[in-house]
Structure 1
Amino acid sequence: MALSATAAHHRAKIAALSRSRTADDPELIAAHRDLRAERLADHVQKVLADAPPLTDAQRERIAALLRVGPRPQADHADLGLADTSPNQVGGDV
């Protein structure tokens, strides 16, 4: 998938910062985060353009993933995103 103009901008910023900054530099870390967020947004737009419309429940479930941020899998049970069945071994639905 080709990069959007915004993602390309973030990638160029990373390249420029990488020449003079260490890997733990806050501005470089932020630039990496911004590129990841833009690539995720680009991917979501592409998937939504190719998919049938989502139901309200599906949109809410996906939005919940973005609102909570990274959490251990076990903590997702309150969102209905983890398999809580006692007879099943496994992870997220």
Structure 2
Amino acid sequence: MPSDISQARARLGAATRYGDQQAADQARRELAAAKLEAAVAKTLATAPPLTSEQRERIVAALTPHPGGEGA
């Protein structure tokens, strides 16, 4: 996963360097997602197994709601 973060960071640097705002915005989203994924994986590696209810709450928190910002 660190390579995903490194790759996203490199894409952001290149897009910023060449003034491609749309690519830079996309790269920022990819970098944020890569960091989040790495943090979740690290946490889950050391945490006890989640219950079904806990998994459902986490999925609900990550799922966009109609009319919401992530929809």
- The TM-score bracket by the shorter chain reads 0.7 to 0.9
What TM-score do the two structures reach when normalised by structure 2?
Answer: 0.84
Structure 2 counterpart of 1:42, from 31, 38, 51: 38
Is residue 62 from structure 1 mapped to residue 58 from structure 2 by the alignment? Answer: yes
Return the structure number with greater helix share. 2
Shift of 1:68: 2.1
Taking only aligned residues, the RMSD between alpha carbons, in angstroms, comes to: 1.8
Residue from 18, 27, 41 that aligns with 2:23: 27
Alignment partners' CA distance in 2, 1:20 and 1:6: 21
Q: CA offsets, 1:33-59, max 9 Å, x none? A: 000001100000000001000000000
Q: Which has the higher contact order (CA 8 A, sep 6+)?
A: 2
Gaps of 5+ in 1: 73-93
Over the matched positions of the two proteins, sequence identity in percent amounts to 37
What TM-score do you get using the length of structure 1 for normalisation?
0.66
Q: Which runs of 5+ in 2 are unaligned?
A: none
Q: How many residues are matched?
A: 67
